Structure 1
């Protein structure tokens, strides 16, 4: 049986405990043995190499170097990393090594919550998005700064809501991507502002596919 670790916490607005339970349920249905922790001390005190997958679910916050280094190292050695929204894409804003591993960082959500936008699936034959079609979301639309090395699997079109950025040309912003960090596979999905959004069938499918794909 594969083993997964979810570490949850940080800003309460993203409902980290509730989202962690949804992710846990998805993984248990895929026959993972799942551990959930609400302290970053787990990263320095446990042997992370026993896990086939680690799921960060910790918006903002700070992380000590002796907590971050084991995470960076274990993913480089083959443990998978997968997560969503601010729980993985807006964690530990001062830690550029973490952002380098993830492949991007949240910088804005023009229009804030309640924006209606379309998620465009880029490759229906890829295991991460196989058989999926474009779908609409009413939530935050994440504007990300991204690593050009990522492989993009779904996008959304900007500009949508008003803001000074609308003077730029239209762009397709990554919503779902994958990359490698050493021997480890990394998966990210920018959807999932709160538990209600994570429960959307399309988001559940994307997370199931991504976590299974990323796991060692």
Structure 2
């Protein structure tokens, strides 16, 4: 597919952001996209430039983001630029920024047992194009517990608790692993796998992310096809 993508990486080195960014770059370039990669969030200060992209892929665990930078990304996505990413690089990014959390659809809060937890990823919408043909699969990695927007369209889940912890007395819950959502005209995709680059380098997790990134990049084209406009969702006043 044609189009332009921006990948920005940095933050906590334990999540191997440079390696994860390289995996995403390969996925997008193999699909024919023109990819820009940067290791700075200064790119989020360029409001007009952000709107030229078809896709933004953040790989930034923790770190800080200014209110204006978050607004710039939000305005780009609301006009059709896609937003897609994985693990801490998107939903444990910029913890103090509530606009970022609302836009991405969740915020990480814990991973009981740490790395190397064995659990099942269950596909819950097997007819959806982003997971069609991908069955349930096992992983050994961090199991993310997230505070999740109920408006997300959930594609896959995992059952908690796998590891006993203080939360265990609350009983079993199915926690979303992958989802889609809308932000104005923009398409947003997230997958909680990816603690290390090797977790998403191949297999079902890799394929889910590949499809998710490309799906998110089609937001502008989808809006043109349906006749939706930014004005359909914009409103006056401060929301954050």
User: TM-score, length-normalised on structure 1?
Assistant: 0.98
Q: Contact conserved, 1:119 with 1:135, CA < 8 A, in 2?
A: yes
CA deviation after TM superposition for structure 1 residue 5, in Å: 0.4
The aligned residue for residue 7 of structure 1 is 8
- The within-5 A match list for 1:131-210 is 131-210=133-212
Partner of 2:55: 53
**What residue in structure 2 maps to residue 100 of structure 1?**
102
Give 2:132's aligned residue.
130
Q: Please list the CA deviations of residues 93-143 of structure 1 after superposition, one character each: whole Å capped at 9, or x if unmatched.
A: 000110000000110000000000000001221011011100000000000
* Residue of structure 1 equivalent to 2:32: 31
- Alignment-derived partner of residue 81 in structure 2: 79
Q: How far apart, CA to CA, are the structure 2 residues paired with 1:178 and 1:135?
A: 20
- RMSD over aligned Cα, in angstroms? 0.9
Q: Distance in 2 between matches of 1:24 and 1:186?
A: 18
Question: Cα distance, 1:77 vs. partner?
Answer: 0.8
Match of 1:64 in 2: 66
The structure 1 segments of at least 4 consecutive aligned residues displaced by more than 3 Å after TM superposition are none
Partner of 2:237: none
* SS of residue matched to 1:47: helix
User: Which structure has greater strand proportion?
Assistant: 1
Pairwise CA distance, 1:212? 1.0
| Separation in structure 2 between the aligned mates of residue 26 and residue 185 of structure 1, nearest angstrom | 18
Task: Give the count of matched residue pairs.
Answer: 216
Rg comparison, structure with higher value: 2
CA distance in 1, matches of 2:50, 2:189: 18
Q: Name structure 2 gaps, 5 residues minimum.
A: 220-240
Gaps of 5+ in 1: none
